[in-house]
Amino acid sequence: MNKPRKLAAGNWKMNGTLAALAELDALLEEGDRDCEVLICPPATLIHPAVARIAGGGIAVGGQDCHAAESGAHTGDLSAAQLADVGADYVIVGHSERRTDHAEDDGAVSAKAAAAHKAGLTAIVCVGETEAQRDSGETLDVIARQLAGSVPEGATAGNTVIAYEPVWAIGTGRTPTTDQIAEVHAALRNALVARFADGAGFRLLYGGSVKPSNAAEIFAIANVDGALVGGASLKAADFGPIVAALDAVG
Ligand code: 13P
pLDDT (average), residues 65-90: 98
**Which pLDDT score, from 0 to 100, does residue 2 have?**
64
> In which band, very low, low, confident or very high, does the pLDDT at 249 lie, cut at 50, 70 and 90?
confident
d(CA 82, CA 118): 9
d(CA 53, CA 58): 7
Tell me if residue 226 falls in helix, strand or coil: strand
pLDDT (average), residues 217-236: 98
Q: What percent of the chain has pLDDT over 70?
A: 99
Q: What is the pLDDT of residues 5-64, one digit of tens each?
A: 999 999 999 999 999 999 999 999 988 899 999 999 999 999 999 999 998 899 999 999
> How long a stretch of residues is the chain?
249
Predicted TM-score (pTM) of the model is 0.98
pLDDT value at 220 more than 80: yes
Backbone phi, psi, residue 206, to 5°: -140, 145
pLDDT (average), residues 124-128: 98
pLDDT (average), residues 105-126: 98
Measured from the Cα of 231, ligand 1's closest atom is: 2
Active site residue 23: no
- Selected catalytic residue, list 23, 66, 94, 96: 94
Contacts of 129 by beta carbon, 8 Å cutoff, 6+ apart = 166, 167
pLDDT value at 235 more than 90: yes
pLDDT value at 223 more than 90: yes
Active site residue 164: yes
Within 10 Å of residue 131's Cβ, how many Cβ atoms? Answer: 10
Domains and CATH numbers, the chain: 7-248 (3.20.20.70)
Cα(230) to ligand 1 centroid in Å equals 6
Contacts of 89 by beta carbon, 8 Å cutoff, 6+ apart = 9, 38, 40, 59, 60, 61, 62, 120, 121, 122, 123, 160
Determine contact, residues 46/86, Cβ cutoff 8 Å: yes
Cα(11) to ligand 1 centroid in Å equals 7
The partner residues of 111 in beta bridges, in order of sequence, read: none
Nearest to 37 by CA among 26, 47, 48, 45: 26
Mean pLDDT of the residues in the chain: 97
3-class secondary structure per residue, 124-170: EEECCCHHHHHCCCHHHHHHHHHHHHCCCCCCCCCEEEEECCHHHCC
Within 10 Å of residue 144's Cβ, how many Cβ atoms? Answer: 13
> In which band, very low, low, confident or very high, does the pLDDT at 181 lie, cut at 50, 70 and 90?
very high
Tell me the Ramachandran region of residue 102: left when phi exceeds 0, alpha when psi lies from -120 to 50, beta otherwise: left
Determine the residue of 38, 227, 237, 238 to mutate for testing ligand 1's pocket, defined as the one with the most ligand atoms within 8 A of the Cβ atom.
227
Cβ of 228 less than 6 Å from ligand 1: yes
Determine contact, residues 104/115, Cβ cutoff 8 Å: no
d(CA 247, CA 249): 5
